[in-house]
Amino acid sequence: MLVKTPSLNQFRRIVVKVGSSLLVDRARGRLRQAWLAALAEDLAELHLRGADVLVVSSGAIALGRTVLGLPGGPLRLEESQAAAAVGQIALARTWAEALGHHGLTAGQILLTLADTEERRRYLNARATLGRLLDLRAVPVINENDTVATAEIRYGDNDRLAARVATMAGADLLVLFSDIDGLYTAPPASDPGARHIPLVERITPEIDAMAGGAASELSRGGMRTKIEAGKIAAAGGTHMLIADGRGKNPLAAIDGGARCTWFLTASTPATARKTWIAGSLEPRGALHVDAGAARALRGGASLLPVGVSRIEGDFARGDAVLIRDPDGHVLGRGLVAYDASEAKLVLGKASRDIEAILGYPGRAEMIHRDDMALGVG
């Protein structure tokens, strides 16, 4: 069966990853201002169509090393962290100005590996991203290179972008590179290499086509992009790799420029619910009243007022079972409160949470996006 190539206008939430080698002029160590302005124009067009837009941007270390006068070549860890501290200020300001020119508000988020791997921190980061998008802001995300060490870092923004895409429930991840997609072999060294426009599934054969890193300023290569594709597909996110060197690279894709699409058979919502349903061990249970059980079956979130009692000693972000008044399992979900806090707010209205806990907690005990019904 012939698989149709997607188009940008069919996606509702898009993560765009921009690497250092595209954003920074290597010879002068400066931002490519005209290129960034053109990309911001593309992002504004997506936003105007109604899509949520997120940016994962490298470039802090590359900018900071120029400001600090650090030499070319590999940097020691403390030099990289110092360069990131200086460069991140310039990078954030530049994105804010470029997007602000089109009336868009930028929000900076710096993540470490732990923020996307530990459930508690993951939920916090996910909630922040969600609120920014609700407010129609554009999150601009980078790895927190000022504190991340070699042992606890991504080391490339391709995989970070894929984690951000699955965290945010994005249905498309765009990886801009200095090549227009995946080839059967490295095209620079093999004149017989063929471009692959569509990858329905990442097979061992596709895996074998990945090459290594290509430039001093960019940590990522085709290998990391394939790994990002695996993460994205598992999270229900389509991905594409495109040449980002020209101006208005998203418009170029819209116009039919050559790229490689990586497809997934799932969606972000179904992939997330599958993960919750099958990959996490429940640490407790929430018993709900009849009204809450009906509301949950109708697609609602679980509010504290609908919880009658709890079992177990769970922490915020843990998976828990949801039981109806007869004790039957309705499903499971990721709980927004520690067990000790859940005991205090169960049966209470969401508006009373702040008075009870002393801080404005989540309105939902379990958000519907963090819930999978029909599983035990």
Q: What is the distance between the alpha carbons of residues 242 and 260, in angstroms, rounded to a whole number? A: 7
HEC string of 131-169 equals HHHHCCCEEEEEECCCCCCHHHCCCCHHHHHHHHHHHHC
Helix axes 222-234, 157-168, angle to 10 degrees: 10
Residues in the chain: 376
- Among residues 224, 267, 216, 262, the alpha carbon closest in space to that of 242 is found at 262
- Among residues 319, 317, 326, the alpha carbon closest in space to that of 293 is found at 326
Supply the DSSP symbol for 194. Answer: -
Q: For residue 164, give both structure tokens.
A: 């951000």
Beta strands in 302-345 (DSSP E): 307-312, 319-323, 329-334
| Residue 248 annotated as lining a ligand binding site | no
Which residues pair with residue 142 across a beta bridge? 110
| Residue 157 annotated as lining a ligand binding site | yes
Coil, strand, or helix at residue 229? helix
- How many whole angstroms from its chain centre is CA 341? 29
Q: For residue 80, give both structure tokens.
A: 């990289």
Q: For residue 101, give both structure tokens.
A: 């020119």
Which DSSP string corresponds to 101-122?
TTTPPEEEEEE-HHHHHSHHHH
| Residue 318 annotated as lining a ligand binding site | no
| Residue 177 annotated as lining a ligand binding site | yes
Count of beta carbons in the 10 Å neighbourhood of residue 81: 18
| Residue 180 annotated as lining a ligand binding site | no
Which residues pair with residue 111 across a beta bridge? 143
Q: For residue 18, give both structure tokens.
A: 């921009």
Q: What is the distance between the alpha carbons of residues 62 and 179, in angstroms, rounded to a whole number? A: 20
Sign of CA dihedral 94, 153, 162, 51: negative
| Residue 308 annotated as lining a ligand binding site | no
Count of beta carbons in the 10 Å neighbourhood of residue 212: 10
Residues annotated within a binding site? 17, 58, 145, 157, 177-178
Residues annotated within a binding site for ATP? 17, 177-178
Residues annotated within a binding site for substrate? 58, 145, 157
